Amino acid sequence: MNTPPTPDCSLVFPPDPAWVRAAREAVRSLLTAARRTDLTDTALVLTSEVVTNAVNACQAQHCNAPVRLNAEWTRRQQLHVLVHDKAPGVPMRRRTDWPPDAESGRGLTLIERSADAWGVCESGGNRGKATWFVLGVRPTKTRSLVGCTACKKLEAARREAVARGEEPHIVDATIAVRTHFRHAHLMRGELW
């Protein structure tokens, strides 16, 4: 039985904050059409973060080139969202001791913690970069966690950071545990 094709979408818009909502709604429509509303909350938050980062980077660099959003389904039926802008430089994850009342600075950490995979690619000889994320990785045959030495080492490092009360190390160790778990035990294989 053939699976019906799932829709993809693209949106090109000026680097203006007013377009963040339109980008979010395009992704919402894509998820609704594909009947994957289980991904909606996370996808909308991450789309807002990535598009906002692109718009802010363009405005900070006085770059008026349009921002491009592509949202598509992989052959494994995972949502792949890519946002490309022409502003120079790449986004950097802020330190974990960022003030709790700060209104910005946590976007990449949120993406890192919420997406099944993500990354930033520079545009080679061209200016700009593409920030992307993937959602909807479903567990396949999982490898047993019992006996996984990497899991044990990463978890021991996390517990040690907790015992010492070192907040930046706790966050980094928790991210390392989660990243290893996803890549070694859930995703094994190609993302798209």
Kindly state the average pLDDT of the residues 79-93: 87
Once rounded to an integer, what is the mean pLDDT over residues 24-41? 93
End-to-end CA distance of the chain: 21
What's the whole-number mean pLDDT along residues 173-182?
68
Query: Looking at per-residue confidence, does 108 or 70 come out higher?
Result: 70
- pLDDT tens-place string over residues 125-146: 567 898 999 998 765 544 444 5
- Cβ(78)–Cβ(118) below 8 Å: no
pTM of the model: 0.68
State the average pLDDT over residues 53-81: 93
Residue 9 has pLDDT above 50, yes or no: yes
Read off the pLDDT of each residue in 143-153 and give the average, rounded to a whole number.
62
Percent of the chain at pLDDT above 90? 41
9 versus 172: the higher-pLDDT residue is 9
**Adjacency order of strands within the sheet including 9-13:** 9-13, 67-73, 79-85, 129-135, 117-122
DSSP string, 64-122: -SPEEEEEEE-TTS-EEEEEEE--SS---PPPTT--TT-SSS-HHHHHHHHSSEEEEEE
Residue type for position 165: G
Q: What H or E segment, with its residue span, contains residue 12?
A: strand 9-13
Phi, psi of 108 (to 5 degrees): -70, -35
Q: What value does the mean pLDDT take over residues 107-124?
A: 82
Per the prediction, the chain carries an average pLDDT of 79
